[in-house]
Amino acid sequence: MSTQNVHTLLHAVGMSFIPTTPEFIQLLDDDIVSLTALLIVLPEFRNGSRNVCVSQLTLYLYLMTQCQLKLRHSVTSLAQTLDCIKVPHRRHSVELTLDRLVLKMIAHKAVTYITTMMNKVTTHNSLFI
């Protein structure tokens, strides 16, 4: 379902953003809560001069990536997800700090997984040489 929503939102004209209110933060997992907390302690976010929001697309990309990692999807599948992550990273402005941080975090998780899987294949193949 997350994959379908990601592909729909990748081509959407408008984008919905979710503010990180205390009520909403309770629903998020530790990784995103930690990123949000890091931003909230900064003066420019704490005094309300900047909003801490995350886009629907970024949240769906996060969910999609987490599902792929937990279900041990193929390297090809995660490489396609990395391509999807590039779209909102280019599209969203620099001011969307939480969005950028979440996108970078999920890209890092995907790259780490891909690298680990490729190393396992290389190690496995070298055993038979």
Kindly report, residue by residue over 22-59, the tens digit of the pLDDT: 777 777 888 888 888 877 777 666 665 566 788 899 99
User: What is the 8-class DSSP label of residue 19?
Assistant: E
Identify whether the C-beta of residue 62 lies closer than 8 Å to the C-beta of residue 32. yes
pLDDT at position 12 is 85
Can you give the pLDDT at residue 45? 67
**The two structure tokens encoding residue 24:** 């909403």
Number of separate domains in the chain:
1
| CB of 98 closer than 8 Å to CB of 52 | yes
**Confidence (pTM):** 0.81
Q: The domain containing residue 70 runs over which residues?
A: 2-126
- pLDDT value of residue 94: 67
